[in-house]
């Protein structure tokens, strides 16, 4: 909501929707809870939203796929002539643009040696773009300045400052659940009910037990999702050609 408000307030974008794309089970993150449960929780958390949707393409693949491929999939799908008759986004200034919504941690991860390939960063930031929610203690502008590749595409990075500090994190939520502490008012009641029903994030889960999901046994404990906002450029606004 914060990102959408910022993008629409500056008059450059008309946000037409958001996509939550849960990462594949084979992502490799320790204790990653099964995509089956993550998708169920996302569904319940989005019941009150009229513009954000869940997409299972990434989580349903047989293997983990890179972020750039996920962005490409959604961009191609949204701009296909079968879905909206817009056509090639590189030729049509009114094509739907897909941007990756992230936190400052992901932005700063671009500077971690050997974590991202330079050409992949260029594709993600240059071709699609980032909307980054800043956090307390971070200085995204300084980080962008110190990165040659991010500076090159800085016009395609939108920094959104979260003036109302929010210290809630998925890590803290999971810790509270493991300890039997209340998380009411921190996440949707429907999600809490689902967690309790399926006995997720318990002390047993934290010992890396596994849970049988339909058709497969998958490892437990984390809710890593990736939110991509797809936005429609207003007709009177055009992107500066990338260099």
pLDDT in tens, 173-196: 999 999 999 999 999 999 999 999
More confident residue, 85 or 41: 41
Quick count: other Cβ atoms within 10 Å of Cβ 137?
A: 6
In a domain, residue 210? The reply is no
On the CB side of 101, CA atoms within 13 Å amount to 22
The tally of domains found in the chain comes to 1
Q: Which domain holds residue 82?
A: 2-25+32-165+222-233
- Altogether, the residues listed in the chain come to a count of 243
Separation of CA 236 from chain center: 28
In a domain, residue 178? The reply is no
In a domain, residue 195? The reply is no
Report residue 228: phi and psi, to 5°. -115, 130
Nearest Cα neighbor of 229 from 35, 23, 55 is 55
Separation of CA 81 from chain center: 25
Q: For 3-27, what is each residue's pLDDT tens digit?
A: 999 999 988 899 999 999 999 999 9
CB 177 within 8 A of CB 171: no
Work out the pLDDT band at 46, boundaries 50, 70, 90: very high
In a domain, residue 216? The reply is no
CA distance 56 to 58: 6
CA distance 150 to 122: 8
Average pLDDT over the chain reads 82
Report residue 189: phi and psi, to 5°. -60, -40
In a domain, residue 144? The reply is yes
Q: For 73-122, what is each residue's pLDDT tens digit?
A: 999 999 985 455 444 455 565 789 999 999 999 999 999 999 999 999 99
In a domain, residue 183? The reply is no
Widest Cα–Cα separation across the chain:
56
What pLDDT does 183 receive?
A: 95
In a domain, residue 37? The reply is yes
* pTM as predicted: 0.79
The token duo for 60 is: 């349903």
In a domain, residue 19? The reply is yes
Supply the CATH number for residue 153's domain. Answer: 3.40.50.620
């Amino acid at each position: 909501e914060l990102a959408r408000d910022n993008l629409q307030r500056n008059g450059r974008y008309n946000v037409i929707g958001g996509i939550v794309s849960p990462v594949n089970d084979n992502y490799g993150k320790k204790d990653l809870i099964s995509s089956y449960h993550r998708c169920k929780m996302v569904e319940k958390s989005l019941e009150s939203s009229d513009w954000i949707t869940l997409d299972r393409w990434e989580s349903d693949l047989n293997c983990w796929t890179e972020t750039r491929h996920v962005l490409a999939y959604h961009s191609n799908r949204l701009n296909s002539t079968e879905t909206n008759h817009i056509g090639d986004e590189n030729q049509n200034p009114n094509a739907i643009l897909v941007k990756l919504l992230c936190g400052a941690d992901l932005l700063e991860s671009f500077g971690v040696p050997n974590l991202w390939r330079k050409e992949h960063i260029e594709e993600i930031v240059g071709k699609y773009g980032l909307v980054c929610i800043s956090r307390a203690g971070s200085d995204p502008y300084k980080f962008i300045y110190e990165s040659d590749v991010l500076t090159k595409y800085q016009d395609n990075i939108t920094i959104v400052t979260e003036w109302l500090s929010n210290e809630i994190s998925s890590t803290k939520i999971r810790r509270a659940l493991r300890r039997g502490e209340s998380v009411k008012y921190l996440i949707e009641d429907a999600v809490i009910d689902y967690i309790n029903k399926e006995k997720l994030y318990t002390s047993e889960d934290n010992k890396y037990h596994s849970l049988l999901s339909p058709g497969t046994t998958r490892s437990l404990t984390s809710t890593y999702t990736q939110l991509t906002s797809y936005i429609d450029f207003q007709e009177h606004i055009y992107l500066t050609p990338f260099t």
